[in-house]
Amino acid sequence: MKVVSFEKVIPQKNTSQEKINIIYNFIQGVQAAGDLGSVNKTFDYENCDVAVIQGWQHEKGKTAPHLALRQKIIDTQARHQKYTITGDSNLFLYANKHLAVLILLSSMRYQAPFQIQIA
């Protein structure tokens, strides 16, 4: 399985390390599980089975480059019936510091059954 995190979906003037952590930590987990994971550092879409983005994409939002990339990723993944995972920056800021990762799954076409197990 090929998983790509897209770094450029983070706003250019970002000051939150947590947003960056979502992109890189997710890929570290993918690689630790034995799958192919990489971070795309461009504004270009990269074909993948699972796309990881930081931040929520509203249907009618502003038109900044990072938002355009988010929309392109979501649209392309949905068109090819592939998966998109989106996480917001506060995933690492809640009370339980020992929880490895909390992921919000988002895909308009996700139909396969799935399970998330948190130890």
Say how many residues make up the chain. Answer: 119
Task: Please check the confidence at residue 41 and state whether its pLDDT lies above 90.
Answer: yes
Domain borders along the chain are: 2-105
Q: What does the pLDDT read at residue 94?
A: 52
Structure tokens at 97: 């510091």
Q: What does the pLDDT read at residue 46?
A: 97
CA 17 to each of CA 35, 62, 88, 91: distance values in angstroms, whole numbers, following the listed order = 25, 23, 12, 12
pTM: 0.74
Structure tokens at 105: 């799954």
